[in-house]
Structure 1
């Protein structure tokens, strides 16, 4: 039922940590239905990062952490100060669990600390961190007047390349050297899963001949894979019954020429511009299951909700957004107040 979206395999040079991405793992949202756990972070719109521990002691220039997470020079730590405001500081030096911040801060014991910038992790990601290759099987064998190289990828695509060269014998076995030469696939998309040398043990083939066979086989397999991909894609499209949407409202968020061209090529005949291009009156700007009333404990289905009658207004960067609540669908919508 399931298969990979593409061929090949990846070799990763680091351990992925999803929690280091912006607020990953912060909430399941509505995967398990509405839950009492908060799905919003009203204290700060920024990423808190990963929890690293609590402040154990602090003095004028340093503080110590009660936690097992190693901290590195150059890390960024953040915390809520005594005013409830989030602030951050860069780590200048670390001695065990004692932190020497790059600037002076006021921080008290029991303060919860998060790391929103991991210097060592970021440095590792700045280097090549992953390599994706397609496995191939290679067979080298003799043909009249020369040699042939057969190469097949993991999808069954294959090619055979011939190169004229005299059959010469050597005094010592050559197969390991030949395998090593054929396996040098360098920056190509391939890696050798299996290499068979179907030759007498002491056949000598110049490195230049092996290199030419390998290079031509890679180029040929690249072409064959492109043709096979286009053929497979057409077959998949032929199997798909498509019912194109002929009209697209402002909710399609079409805000540039290329997006409009894409939709027209796929059968859309009427396209309304995005809201930011042409504002429309009386239309919602956002539909969300996240409910501010529920988050504040004033859901309209509870007695506390009666104390805050509609409409409610949200102030965002100087703009007023009016909130509407559809309690039957458990959904909240936002409207721009001045164009209702």
Structure 2
């Protein structure tokens, strides 16, 4: 990969999608293999298909990346190693990886097998890119929340090529930082089983009261990203790879989106002005759209990120119902419509069954209209058995949900096997009378060359000697292949001749060998390695350390009045951290300050401010913050890695400890069995476990306070409603989940009910764990003291874990994941 190149990267979930991507101009594709990827609900490729997939892609000079973008548990490392080796053997061009423990494994296995850092790594700053550079990460996929200016800043500070999502569904939460699906539905996003909890309806509770929102119910459901108009700006900002989301989408979707972005990129690279037409945008909407947005690429605009009235694909907006007739509806069209198109009537209740079907006829003032109607007042006659017009009302919005003509046109692009563009071939030929004709054929796209000699010797030409034009005529007949002959150089010692049959044989052999060279798998270095082995640990007889994470000064004061060994401060506004340090010191308690969960370009001032407060330790929550603090010289402060670093196996533990962290906190994606598996392999004196908390579920750049309690669009003009009100989101069963804001105006939605791992404390102590954390959210001082007292008794063996969680009415659960991957 070279900086300055541009790659168009397409999603493929099956062979049809793969052919659609290749035929419409993708430079590379990404796909999952069996269970280890972020789309386990999709129909993924099987491991034994890998050689055939890569052979097909490389024939057309298209790169193939396998998504390995989930967390890997300890007992899965052997299976993970097998898949990595299968990818290497098949010549896969790169693995897209989330888990830094897996990065550690791959680098032990091979120093040269390419790794791409997944967006699930939550890489959003130059420092985060620098953190993973020692592992020779070939490409980094930035978070969807990075805007153009931030992307440019990151690009200027690294030589690592950057990949950016440009089209498709948006996650409302930072990728890699969403724990909602598993908390509520037993399906973890970090394990490829996102249940799309962001697409559900919620009531907005403000200071405990339900706010009337009209038909706005989908408070966390973003529109879809469409950045085709920003292609020039993205290239100029330094983006290498343009990534399209959609491995659950159809081949028609892949063909449509890839072809549109291919044109946009090619036009810019050719120096021509380009902007998509209205028809281009409509066709993109037709394939899949919840409404289009630039996401965060042009900066944060909370008013434009979501619609709020529906959570699913709608297609193209046609207009609204002006009148309901006996067998038709009257509409003033804002987009073209024809017979056979699919439509749906949107009454503002997307959770209910909606009326819709095929257009049977179009009329103007009662007279039938043939062909497509572009705009204007039209009578739409739906199929008699499709739509119950008695349920359609004036004002209902009408959407065009399908276009059979467009689908047929897209299908033709990948009907069979074909190259998007033919590959140029150059030939050099030499020879003389009495010797063989020697030809060197060069595939200019790959640089591969083959030398083909004639089987017979050249003879003196009496009538028609070989010329460049004659060779061009014979060797240029490459129809049906992936090549085209673009130039010939020939040097002959006199007038020579060779039979046409032999010239044709040489051409066929050259083409076959050039194709064979493309299809031959790449060779990577492969080492023999041993996976981590269990570490013998004695039962921990030392005094276990109890830590209280507090989110207010009242909580800190209360915790300081107990026998906890350490205080962590996790405040919305880090400007209050000096007060937290002063209060802890006044009680003689050591204190750590928590960094924000996200680190963006230009936010090092927040981290510097934390150092100025002179805490005893820092609770580090992002790769960028780890890099920043470990670069500081002689700061004399302990660094503790938090759950958001997504440590799920002992190889990840080793990696972070090697990079300067004193202790690490495993990911909340581990259940009790997966946690015990990790503890058997890891140095447990370096592990800190959270045994009580309100699980932080959504963590998002989208600010609920700004969107629904302010006329503003971002922190510059919102009026700071978060300082005046407390907001929560009430789900369908009546649970209200608190929404808190951090110094970067990012929102965290916390689960309404706290969870407790108290029942497992004995197991952890037996494994040698010494450090346990209890986290508070909105508890008052008296509650803080009560909770800490209960957990101290449990750690001392004076109270059972069951008694603790029952006393607190907490969920008896550790972390979130139940660990079921679809087999």
What is the TM-score with the length of structure 2 in the denominator?
Answer: 0.32
Q: Report the CA distance between 1:164 and its aligned residue.
A: 2.0
Aligned to 1:193: 486
- The answer to whether the aligner puts 1:30 opposite 2:323 as a matched pair is no
* Structure 1 residue 331: Cα displacement: 1.1
Distance 1:38 1:85 in 2: 21
Task: Please give the alpha-carbon distance, in whole angstroms, between the structure 1 residues aligned to 2:490 and 2:671.
Answer: 64
Is the Cα–Cα contact under 8 Å of residues 159 and 221 in structure 1 kept in the other structure?
A: no
Match of 1:85 in 2: 349
Deviation of the 1:172 alpha carbon:
6.4
Hey, what's the Cα distance between the residues in 2 that align with 1:180 and 1:210? Answer: 10
Residues 246-272 of structure 1, C-alpha deviation per residue, up to 9 Å, x if partnerless? x997546688xxxx79x76x9578894
Q: Does 1:163 align with 2:454?
A: yes
Shift of 1:290: 1.1
Q: Distance in 2 between matches of 1:254 and 1:116?
A: 43
Task: Give the alignment of 1:136-151 within 5 angstroms.
Answer: 136-142=425-431, 144-151=434-441
Structure-1 residue corresponding to 2:108: none
1:114 to 380, 394, 399: 399
Q: Select which of 207, 220, 226 maps to 2:501.
A: 207
Instruction: Provide the rounded CA distance (Å) in 1 between the counterparts of 2:289 and 2:436.
Output: 61
1:1-340 correspondence to structure 2 within 5 Å: 2-5=4-7, 16=260, 17-23=283-289, 26-35=292-301, 37-55=303-321, 57-67=323-333, 69-81=335-347, 84-86=348-350, 87-95=354-362, 96=369, 97=373, 98-102=379-383, 103-106=386-389, 107-108=392-393, 111-129=396-414, 131-142=420-431, 144-152=434-442, 153-154=444-445, 156-167=447-458, 169=461, 178-185=471-478, 189-195=482-488, 203-207=497-501, 209-216=503-510, 218-220=512-514, 223=517, 251=644, 272=666, 275=669, 281-297=693-709, 309-310=725-726, 312-315=728-731, 318=733, 320=735, 322-326=737-741, 328-340=743-755
Distance 1:201 1:319 in 2: 92
Counterpart CA distance in 2 for 1:249 and 1:61 is 62
How many pairs were matched up?
Answer: 314
Q: CA RMSD in A?
A: 4.7
> Is the 1:162–1:213 Cα contact (8 Å) retained in structure 2?
no
How far the C-alpha of 1:209 sits from its partner, in A, is 4.3
Q: Cα gap change, 1:173/1:121 in structure 2, threshold over 3 Å: closer, same or farther? A: farther
Contact 1:133–1:191 (Cα < 8 Å) also in 2:
yes
8 Å contact from structure 1 (residues 157, 221) kept in 2: no
Q: Do 1:149 and 1:217's aligned partners in 2 also have CA atoms closer than 8 Å?
A: no
User: Are the aligned partners of 1:250 and 1:275 in contact in 2 as well (CA < 8 Å)?
Assistant: no
Give deviations 1:71-102, integer Å, cap 9, x for gaps: 24443223422xx2243522243443443323
Residue-by-residue CA offset, 1:9-35 (whole Å, 9 max, x unaligned): 976697634334543762233333343
- Provide the C-alpha distance between the structure 2 equivalents of 1:177 and 1:331, rounded to a whole number of angstroms: 69
Q: How far apart in 2 are the matches of 1:207 and 1:26? A: 58
Of 150-159 and 117-126, more deviation after overlay is shown by 150-159
Do the aligned residues in 1 keep the contact of 2:341 with 2:404 (CA within 8 Å)? yes
Specify every segment of 5 or more residues in structure 2 that has no aligned partner in the other structure, as ranges: 9-21, 26-254, 261-282, 363-368, 374-378, 525-626, 631-639, 658-663, 676-689, 756-823
Task: Note the alpha carbon deviations across 1:127-151, whole angstroms, 9 max, x for none.
Answer: 3346254322234443553322222
Secondary structure of the equivalent of 1:328?
coil
Higher relative contact order (CA 8 A, sep 6+): 2
- What is the deviation of 1:283? 3.8
Contact 2:705 2:727 in 1 (8 A): no
* Structure number with higher strand proportion: 1
CA contact (8 A) 1:181 1:211 kept: no
